[in-house]
Amino acid sequence: MIQAILTDIEGTTSSLSFVKDVLFPYARRHLADFVQAHAHEPEVRRWLTEVGSAVGRTLTDEQAVAQLLQWMDEDKKITPLKALQGLIWEEGYRQGDFTGHVYADAVQCLRAWHAQGLRLYVFSSGSVHAQKLLFGHSDAGDLTPLFTGYFDTTVGAKQQPASYLAIAATIGLAPAAVLFLSDIQGELDAARAAGMSTCHLVRDAAPDPAAVHRQVTDFSQIALD
């Protein structure tokens, strides 16, 4: 029996265009100014130092910014990049520059599942901080009370079964009691290899009955059996 739902964000609860056309360009435009204004703060300094550690040498702040911009261009899933993006997006959300897109069908089902007593978790390549910001400042209001916990790449890569085993252990459930939702087959393959149930969101295509994972076009079609 499914006792918890673990969901991806980009392409699953939220549109790809919001992330790619709103969040990513915003972080890129504001990165240099943000680092200049906040480099003295311990958290920002920590992540700038991590950029140097990732490339194996000490970097000036300007060099760290250049490296971060390169990673953005390459769409790298690197923890210091994701952490700094989250801090920049926090300013954007709080200033009202944008709100977090969440599909209406996802909002409705997340609320219904929470009301039924299911535990809801998020696993995204974006930082936990960025996840909470998106759901906390969503188009539908503050959705964070619906979620029991959040996971990012500090728990492991999204296409590695060990990450899903670690999540199951952390939340205290057998993998078989968890349903993982994503739009990426490699992530679904990893979750299934760890023993989780899976459901493949294909929002812009017709479901393929012969697909490796059960496919649906929106959350209302997700079965919990």
**181, 199 in Cβ contact below 8 A?**
yes
Task: Name all contacts of 165-169 with Cβ < 8 Å and 24+ positions apart.
Answer: 165/194, 165/195, 167/6, 167/121, 167/123, 168/194, 168/195, 168/196
Q: What is the mean pLDDT of residues 195-221?
A: 94
Helix (H, G, I), strand (E, B) or coil at 128: helix
Asked if residue 225 has pLDDT above 80, the reply is no
Mean pLDDT for 196-209 is 93
Residue pLDDT, tens place only, 120-142:
999 998 889 989 999 999 999 99
Cβ–Cβ < 8 Å for 156, 165 = no
The structural domains of the chain, ordered by start, are 4-16+100-221 (3.40.50.1000), 18-94 (1.10.720.60)
Q: Determine the distance from the C-alpha atom of residue 206 to the mean position of all C-alpha atoms in its chain, rounded to a whole number.
A: 24
- Give the sign of the dihedral formed by CA 52, CA 55, CA 58, CA 59: negative
3-state helix, strand, coil in the chain (%, to 5): 55, 15, 35
List, for residues 149-165, the tens digit of each pLDDT value.
999 999 999 999 999 99
Neighbours of 34 (CB within 10 A): 18
Task: Give 178's strand partners.
Answer: 4
Q: Work out the mean pLDDT of the chain and round it to a whole number.
A: 96
